[in-house]
Amino acid sequence: MHVDLSINLGGIRMKNPVMTASGTFGYGPEYADLVNLDTLGAIVVKGICLEPKTGNEPPRTAEVASGMLNAIGLPGPGVDGFVREYMPFLRRHDVPVIVNIWGRTLEEYAEVAARFSDVEGIAGLEINVSCPNIKEGSQVFGTHLDLFRKVLDAVRAATPLPLIPKLAPDVSNIADFARAAEESGANAVSLINSFPAMAIDIKTRKPRLANITGGLSGPAIRPIAVRLVWLAARAVSIPVVGIGGISSPEDALEFLIAGASAVAVGTANFTDPGTAGRVIAGIETYLREAGHQRVDDIVGSLRI
Ligand SMILES: Cc1cc2nc3c(=O)[nH]c(=O)nc-3n(C[C@H](O)[C@H](O)[C@H](O)COP(=O)(O)O)c2cc1C
């Protein structure tokens, strides 16, 4: 029986539902010797803001039980640097490129989105809202519903590209944020970003990250992410991308059954760059063995 893995993610046509999570796969070329990029559902590149930016002081990562903490500080080449240095390479590949964007102000988000609108070869924008708003007292955009709506409205007005707001996990009601995204004209939502967290070296009594706090990712957050994806998917009719601790086909299938239309592999890329490939093959096998022809057949198929 033929299994068709292709999906349409809010206007982005993908060969299969498995993408790479932002910040864990560079901008693509870094992994090109290890992974056939054309086999991926999509590549989501590391977060890009308006101007080039350096990251935080080391240590920027720390290993913890079943996961890692990071506070890399969103270094990057800025819009022009990314387009100049990476887009010629990415355009030569047959894989949708989703650019993860962020800003320090509403205006910056809108400008980054507007600049990407005319760039050939960009399939869509993922909007990272897990960063502080420097104008309004460093409140994080993604955890305040009003600020979140303002970012999305500003970005929506700035670009016709498909938009995928990436939801922060540390909110009291994820459904409100998913609905706000849909109401603002988002084409899909992705979740979750890493979970705010902290670890301390008890010998030195210092935080293990120079930034003091960071984001927790990896298998430790997967059950949290599965629940949030389930809640978000029930609240909206736009597609949901499930992210959080996926390192096997079984992990990805949990998200699809919970209601995600696609998934992204993050931290697992650091230990096994072949993870996305294994996940794609495993989803195909699962569908075939269960007698399904399309991915959609199992999306949200949770039995309660
Ligand atoms: C080192 C590192 C860098 C990341 N950088 C970004 C980023 O630039 N933008 C973003 O939206 N998410 C970023 N993330 C979050 C991931 O895309 C993902 O949402 C999170 O790690 C959960 O998935 P995982 O458990 O599979 O890693 C980063 C994660 C890690 C571990």
pLDDT digits (tens, 9 = 90+) for 170-199: 999 999 999 999 999 999 999 999 999 999
Distance (Å, whole) CA 225 – CA 25: 20
Token digits of residue 297:
């057949």
Domain extent for 262? 7-55+74-196+218-297
Residue 138, pLDDT score: 74
CA–centroid distance, 290 to ligand 1, in Å, is 32
Residue 133, pLDDT score: 77
CATH number at 80 reads 3.20.20.70
Task: Tell me the pLDDT tens digit for each residue of 63-92.
Answer: 999 999 999 999 999 999 999 999 999 999
* CB-count exposure of residue 53 (10 Å: 0-12, 13-18, 19+): middle
Instruction: Please give all residues whose beta carbon lies within 6 A of any atom in ligand 1, as ranges.
Output: 21-24, 46-47, 70, 72, 74, 100, 128, 166, 193-194, 217-218, 221, 243-246, 266-267
User: Mutate which of 54, 68, 217 to test ligand 1's pocket (most atoms within 8 Å of Cβ)?
Assistant: 217
Tell me what the mean pLDDT of segment 137-151 comes to.
91
pLDDT confidence tier of residue 16, bands split at 50, 70 and 90: very high
Q: How many domains does the chain contain in total?
A: 1
Is residue 238 one of the residues assigned to a domain? yes
Verify whether residue 49 is a known catalytic residue. Answer: no
Q: List the one residue out of 138, 142, 98, 132 whose CA is nearest residue 116.
A: 98
Is residue 65 one of the residues assigned to a domain? no
Tell me what the mean pLDDT of segment 51-61 comes to.
95
pLDDT confidence tier of residue 268, bands split at 50, 70 and 90: very high
Does residue 242 contact residue 263 with C-beta atoms inside 8 Å? Answer: yes
Give the SS3 label for residue 98.
strand
Is residue 160 one of the residues assigned to a domain? yes
Residue 134 clears pLDDT 80, i.e. is over it: no
Residue 192, pLDDT score: 98
Is residue 63 one of the residues assigned to a domain? no
Residue 135, pLDDT score: 75
Task: Look up tokens 């009003």; give the residue.
Answer: 146
Tell me what the mean pLDDT of segment 48-62 comes to.
95
Residue 31, pLDDT score: 97
Is residue 204 one of the residues assigned to a domain? no
Is residue 62 one of the residues assigned to a domain? no
- Ligand 1 atom at minimum distance from 221 CA: 25
Residue 136 clears pLDDT 80, i.e. is over it: no
Residue 78, pLDDT score: 97
Residue 287, pLDDT score: 98
Is residue 44 one of the residues assigned to a domain? yes
- Ligand 1 atom at minimum distance from 264 CA: 26
Lowest mean pLDDT segment, chosen from 49-63, 136-150, 215-229: 136-150
Among the listed residues 131, 209, 220, 264, the single catalytic one is 131
Tell me what the mean pLDDT of segment 84-105 comes to.
97
Q: What is the pTM of this model?
A: 0.98
Is residue 78 one of the residues assigned to a domain? yes
Residue 203 clears pLDDT 90, i.e. is over it: yes
CA–centroid distance, 195 to ligand 1, in Å, is 10
Task: Tell me the pLDDT tens digit for each residue of 270-298.
Answer: 999 999 999 999 999 999 999 999 999 99
Does residue 19 contact residue 246 with C-beta atoms inside 8 Å? Answer: no
- Beta strands per DSSP E along the chain: 7-9, 12-14, 18-20, 42-48, 61-64, 67-70, 97-101, 124-128, 132-133, 139-140, 163-166, 189-191, 195-197, 200-201, 206-207, 214-217, 240-243, 262-265
pLDDT confidence tier of residue 131, bands split at 50, 70 and 90: confident
Residue 221, pLDDT score: 98
Q: Mean pLDDT, the chain, as a whole number?
A: 97
